[in-house]
C-alpha cells in the first residue's frame, strides 16, 4: 500500500501529514482528526488496514503542537480557531474536496466546531468516535465515574481540584488508575508498533486548551457547549464509543439524540479507543458505513 508523508506550510509553521493509498483512486478519502489536543496521529495507523482492505485513501496528520508537526512556544495558538484553520488549510493543500470526516475525542470536538461554525462543503459523512458535545456534561460524567473509585483515589483527585496542585504522587496515581480504567492500558511489548513508537505529545497544547486531566476542563475549550447546535448537522453521522469509555453512554446518547441523522455503535469490550481494542469489529462497522455514504 502506497504511503505518502510530507509537511504542509501552515502560517509560520509546518504540519506533518500521512496519506495511505491513492487520493486519485475515485473513492472519497477518510480524513482523521486525532485527540488530545496533542495526542498525535500514531494510533490512527490502525486504519491503514482499512485502506489496504478497501482501496479507500486514508489521511491523517499531527495537529500543530505535537508529534512531527511544529511545536511553537506560543500559548495563544492553543485554541479551536488555530486547529480549524489548520484543518481548512490541509484540505486545500491536499485537494480534499470531498471527505468522510472521523474525529476521535478532541478530534470529534474539532469536527463539530468545524461543521457547525464554518459550514464547510464536501463532507460526505461524519464519524464521531468517543467524543463529546458538552464540556459540562463530560466533566459531570467523569466525576460520576470517579465516584466508583477507591476512596483514597477519590480523595486525591478532590484535593488536587481544590488546591490546584496536580503534581502530588497520590493524585498522579489516582489519575493513572482512572485513565487505565476508562482511556487505555499501558503500552506493552505486544502492542502494535505504532503504539510502541516514541512520539512527541503536545503537553502544553493539552493543558492550555483543555486542562490538567480529562475531568477538570480549565483551558480555552472549557466553555465548549455544542449540544444544541448538533441539530444543524444534517449529514449522515455515526457515533461510536466503548462501554468503559470516557465517552460514557450518556455522553454518546446525548449526541445521538440531538443529531438529525445519526446511528450509534457501542463496543462492548472497549474504553476510549475502540478502533484499537476491537480493531476488526470497528473496521468492519466503518467499512460498511463508508461504502453506503460515497
Give the residue numbers annotated as catalytic, written as ranges: 105, 245, 272
Give the CA count within 13 Å in the CB-facing half-sphere of 98. 11
Provide DSSP, the chain. Answer: --EEEEEEEETTEEEEEEEES-TTSSSPPEEEE-STTT--SGGGGGGHHHHHHH---EEEEPPTTSTTS---S-GGG-SHHHHHHHHHHHHHHHT-SSEEEEEETHHHHHHHHHHHHH--S-EEEEEEES--SBHHHHHHHHHHHHTTS-HHHHHHHHHHHHH----SHHHHHHHHHHHHHHT-----TTS-HHHHS-----HHHHHHHT-SSTT---STTTT-B-GGGGGG--S-EEEEEETT-SS-HHHHHHHHHH-TTEEEEEETT-SS-HHHHTHHHHHHHHHHHHHTT-
- Helix 135-146 × helix 169-182 angle, to 10°: 100
Amino acid at each position: 500500500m502506497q504511503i505518502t508523508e510530507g509537511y504542509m506550510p501552515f502560517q509560520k509553521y509546518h504540519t506533518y501529514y500521512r496519506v495511505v493509498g491513492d487520493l486519485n483512486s475515485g473513492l472519497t478519502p477518510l480524513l482523521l482528526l486525532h485527540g488530545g489536543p496533542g495526542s498525535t496521529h500514531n494510533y490512527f495507523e490502525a486504519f491503514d488496514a482499512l485502506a489496504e482492505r478497501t482501496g479507500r485513501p486514508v489521511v491523517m496528520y499531527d495537529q500543530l503542537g505535537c508529534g512531527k508537526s511544529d511545536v511553537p512556544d506560543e500559548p495563544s495558538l492553543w485554541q479551536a480557531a488555530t486547529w480549524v484553520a489548520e484543518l481548512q488549510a490541509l484540505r486545500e493543500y491536499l485537494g480534499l474536496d470531498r471527505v468522510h470526516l472521523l474525529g476521535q475525542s478532541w478530534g470529534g470536538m474539532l469536527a463539530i466546531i468545524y461543521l457547525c461554525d464554518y459550514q464547510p462543503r464536501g463532507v460526505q459523512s461524519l464519524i464521531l468516535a468517543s467524543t463529546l458535545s458538552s464540556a459540562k456534561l463530560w466533566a459531570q460524567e467523569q466525576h460520576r465515574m470517579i465516584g466508583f473509585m477507591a476512596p483514597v483515589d477519590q480523595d486525591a483527585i478532590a484535593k488536587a481540584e481544590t488546591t490546584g496542585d496536580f503534581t502530588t504522587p497520590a493524585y498522579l496515581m489516582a489519575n493513572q488508575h482512572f485513565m487505565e480504567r476508562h482511556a487505555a492500558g499501558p503500552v506493552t511489548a505486544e502492542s502494535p508498533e505504532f503504539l510502541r513508537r516514541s512520539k512527541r505529545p503536545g503537553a502544553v497544547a493539552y493543558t492550555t486548551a483543555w486542562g490538567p486531566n480529562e475531568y477538570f476542563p480549565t483551558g480555552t475549550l472549557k466553555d465548549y457547549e455544542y449540544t444544541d447546535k448538533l441539530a444543524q448537522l444534517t449529514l449522515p453521522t455515526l457515533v461510536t464509543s466503548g462501554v468503559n469509555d470516557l465517552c460514557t453512554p450518556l455522553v454518546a446518547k446525548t449526541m445521538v439524540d440531538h443529531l438529525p441523522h445519526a446511528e450509534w455503535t457501542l463496543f462492548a469490550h472497549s474504553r476510549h479507543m475502540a478502533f484499537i481494542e476491537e480493531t476488526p469489529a470497528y473496521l468492519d462497522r466503518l467499512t460498511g458505513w463508508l461504502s453506503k455514504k460515497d
